Amino acid sequence: MLHFFTRYMVPCASVFTSIAGAVPSGQLKVFEQLTDVPDGWYRGVPAPALARLKLHIAIRQDDKHAFLQEELLKISDPEHELYGQHYDAHELDALLRPEPATSSNVLSWLEEQGIPAMEIEDNGDWISVDTTVARAENLLDTTFYFFHHAEDKIWRIRTLEYSIPDRLHPYIQMIQPTTHFARSRANQQPGPTSNSIPVYGSATKLNATYCNTTTSADCIRALYGIGDFRANASSGSRLGIPAFASQNVLRGDLALFVDKWAPYARGANFSITSVNGGVNNESTDAIWASEANMDIQYGLTLAYPTPVDFYKVGGRGPVIHDLQLPDRPGVLNEQEPFLEYLQYMVNLTNDKLPQVISISYGEDEQTHPLSYMLSVCQLFAKLGARGVSVITSSGDGGPGDGCMTNDGQNKTRFMPQFPSSCPWVTSVGGTGQVLPEIAEQLSGGGFSDVFARPDYQRTQVETYLNGTIKDKFKGLYNRTGRGIPDVAAQAWTTFPIFHLGQEQLSGGTSAATPTWAAIIANLNSERLSRGQKPLGFLNPWLYNTAYKALTDITQGSSHGCDNVTNAGQDAPGVPGAGWKAVKGWDAVTGLGTPNFTKLLDLAVEM
């Protein structure tokens, strides 16, 4: 029997850029390369020549991005004179527009390689090329293949390496989708299905016995001091919730949830925006909906009546099939929806841009090319400069699930998650139990292997490392990396949600993230109603001042690094792997959980 896929027995994907080598100027030189097919993926046949690819070329301009980050810290620091002076889209474009010589070098190369002008879109610091596989292969001196991920049942057109002229290496930071295989994984922990979950308690008085087993919207309101607060629907505050990984949201499920758990929000709705060709499937066969449903059901009801914008982010749609490919609905030419989503958002006008975005998805840092993470993180910085608070989940694997490197050496190492590790987002970990809250074992956390520790958290993080961790886990993590999470909220698998008309329990940091996002949206509603600016990038405020309005979690610890990877491969375990919750910042609950009343007092004083 002829097998269509080739499985590589050594599952490694070591990424390195701008590989050194003595190549004459103007000659092709490898720009990015994977040493092997990433863990969990299978390589199939070459992609058809006429299949479409949309390549995104990030223009490298380190000085301008460094300046943007400096400006972002100024406008996000309540004690700085520039606090709250966020940029409009056109101002940001002007600030980051590359030097004419840089753009012309890249555009001339595209023209020389026969890319038609109609396939090129110049957006300043990004250039997009919507072209055929044949032209992309010629441009990048490579061959694109179909790759299949059996667990997720997704197909992608990718390559293991590509080359560009060496004279262009200083001008280009990234070209994707090429070597990027990571999946946007929902940080959700499903629980059992049940139609007999009782409703009890109130939004103003915490019932600890009930809320220890059922984390309803009222329990969250009571636990975190939101109570009966209602946002001002006309303040201009908006909450944005994207869905990746084929997730859909069902209005019928929201209606059932609101009717039982948040009757004050009956009749509430949300807008749906398609990004990158995404189509929201609201039929009863939309099996991938539990994550998006949870995000909407809790984000909307906790921030009610703040307008909520749901973004369905998709790939490019069906590929051009050939006889060697199975003819099935799930075969998609999935592009980089995460990248395209952020590019879409940073270009929105102020009246359409939500001031808070809740992202419950992520993946281990090592599954992303370095250039991809740097480029995406820069887009998060741009959103911060626009006045947007980006809230992300820290992951559900503690210090890591299968803690094994994919660089061919299979070394034991903790696995921080991206985009949570980007310094320009606010990372949310998980807690469980009430009175007192304790650290949730699944709460993702640790230290980035990519991003250096930002100054805004240096004092708190180094206090934890020097006073609590000391030499423990030495060599398993980057002691100088950005620490995650920043904050935390309830994440036990005790959140009732409706999914396909059935009630079930769910949880994970995917539940904690919309909780925090809704709270920030409520704070923005009050600030905007008073004529103040939105909070924007939160972390300087959180670490310098707002930590005083949080409940410090000092009990419990995370757990992870068991003996199996996400793809089911054997991995070396780490006995006792986990971060301990202590007084002050820690790598499992960050600075703590929210107290809305105290946060509101601080927020309106600025």
What is 86-98 written as a DSSP string? PPPHHHHHHHHPP
Q: Work out the average pLDDT over 164-180.
A: 94
331: pLDDT strictly greater than 50: no
172: pLDDT strictly greater than 80: yes
Q: Catalytic residue among 291, 363, 401, 449, which?
A: 291
CA torsion through residues 107, 63, 184, 42, sign = positive
Is residue 11 very low, low, confident or very high in pLDDT (cuts 50, 70, 90)? Answer: very low
285: pLDDT strictly greater than 70: no
Q: Catalytic residue among 216, 290, 510, 558, which?
A: 510
> What is the pLDDT at residue 2?
31
Q: Work out the average pLDDT over 442-469.
A: 98
Q: How far apart are CA 27 and CA 8, in angstroms?
A: 31
Is residue 314 very low, low, confident or very high in pLDDT (cuts 50, 70, 90)? Answer: confident
195: pLDDT strictly greater than 70: no
Q: Percent of the chain at pLDDT above 90?
A: 73
Q: Average pLDDT of the chain?
A: 88
> What is the pLDDT at residue 601?
98
Is residue 14 very low, low, confident or very high in pLDDT (cuts 50, 70, 90)? Answer: very low
The tokens describing 176, both together, are: 């994707």
> What is the pLDDT at residue 570?
63
Who wins on pLDDT, 568 or 327? Answer: 568
Q: Work out the average pLDDT over 345-373.
A: 93
What the chain holds in terms of domains, given with CATH numbers, is 15-61+98-181 (no CATH), 208-605 (3.40.50.200)
User: Which of 22-31, 176-185, 231-240, 277-286 is modeled with the greatest confidence?
Assistant: 231-240
472: pLDDT strictly greater than 70: yes
CA torsion through residues 94, 99, 102, 105, sign = positive
Give the single-character DSSP code of 605.
Answer: H
248: pLDDT strictly greater than 60: yes
Query: Is 553 labelled as part of a ligand binding site?
Result: yes
Cβ within 8 Å of residue 483, ≥6 positions away: 445, 446, 447, 448, 453, 457, 461, 464, 585, 587
Query: Is 584 labelled as part of a ligand binding site?
Result: yes
Who wins on pLDDT, 15 or 307? Answer: 307
407: pLDDT strictly greater than 90: no
Backbone phi and psi for residue 132, each to the nearest 5 degrees, phi listed first = -90, 160
Q: How far apart are CA 374 and CA 386, in angstroms?
A: 19
Q: CB–CB of 429/441 below 8 Å?
A: no
Q: Catalytic residue among 36, 295, 309, 340, which?
A: 295
Q: How far apart are CA 525 and CA 112, in angstroms?
A: 52
Q: Work out the average pLDDT over 495-499.
A: 94
Element (H, E) at 497: strand 495-499
CA torsion through residues 514, 303, 259, 198, sign = positive
Q: How far apart are CA 457 and CA 150, in angstroms?
A: 40
Give Cα separations from 228 to 210, 295, 307 (angstroms): 19, 20, 18
Who wins on pLDDT, 211 or 500? Answer: 211
**Which amino acid is residue 535, in one-letter code?**
L
Across 71-80, 103-112, 320-329, 524-533, least confident range: 320-329
Q: How far apart are CA 452 and CA 380, in angstroms?
A: 16
Q: CB–CB of 358/241 below 8 Å?
A: yes
112: pLDDT strictly greater than 70: yes
Who wins on pLDDT, 570 or 407? Answer: 407
Q: Work out the average pLDDT over 219-243.
A: 98
Is residue 182 very low, low, confident or very high in pLDDT (cuts 50, 70, 90)? Answer: confident
**Upstream peptide bond of 177 is cis (omega within 30 degrees of 0):** yes
> What is the pLDDT at residue 324?
31
The tokens describing 234, both together, are: 């006309």
Is residue 257 very low, low, confident or very high in pLDDT (cuts 50, 70, 90)? Answer: very high
Q: How far is CA 47 from the centre of its chain?
A: 29
Angle at 14 between CA 9 and CA 486, to 5 degrees: 115
333: pLDDT strictly greater than 50: no
Element (H, E) at 310: strand 308-313
Give the single-character DSSP code of 467.
Answer: I
510 is catalytic: yes
CA torsion through residues 460, 462, 466, 469, sign = positive
> What is the pLDDT at residue 566?
52
| 408-413 contact pairs (CB < 8 A, 24+) | 408/10, 408/12, 408/14, 408/35, 408/36, 409/12, 410/12, 410/572, 412/476, 412/561, 412/571, 412/572, 412/574, 413/449, 413/476, 413/477
Is residue 393 very low, low, confident or very high in pLDDT (cuts 50, 70, 90)? Answer: very high
Q: CB–CB of 379/390 below 8 Å?
A: no
Q: How far apart are CA 510 and CA 297, in angstroms?
A: 12
466: pLDDT strictly greater than 90: yes
- Three-state SS for 32? strand
Give the 3-state DSSP-derived string for 504-566, with helices as H, strands as E and coil as C.
Answer: EEECCHHHHHHHHHHHHHHHHHHHHHCCCCCCCCCHHHHHHCHHHHEECCCCCECCCCCCECC
CA torsion through residues 270, 276, 277, 279, sign = negative
Across 17-21, 545-549, 597-601, least confident range: 17-21
**Which amino acid is residue 37, in one-letter code?**
V
Q: How far apart are CA 293 and CA 251, in angstroms?
A: 9
Angle at 259 between CA 256 and CA 262, to 5 degrees: 115
Give the single-character DSSP code of 288.
Answer: T
Q: Work out the average pLDDT over 114-119.
A: 95
103 is catalytic: no
18: pLDDT strictly greater than 60: no
> What is the pLDDT at residue 203?
94
> What is the pLDDT at residue 290?
83
Q: CB–CB of 342/376 below 8 Å?
A: yes
Q: Percent of the chain at pLDDT above 70?
A: 87
Q: Work out the average pLDDT over 392-401.
A: 93
> What is the pLDDT at residue 562?
79
295 is catalytic: yes
Q: CB–CB of 429/510 below 8 Å?
A: no
At 124-153, the pLDDT tens digits run: 899 999 999 999 999 999 999 999 988 777
What is 388-409 written as a DSSP string? PEEEEE--SSTT-SS-B-SSSS
What is 97-124 written as a DSSP string? PPPHHHHHHHHHHHHHTT--GGGEEE-S
**Upstream peptide bond of 485 is cis (omega within 30 degrees of 0):** yes
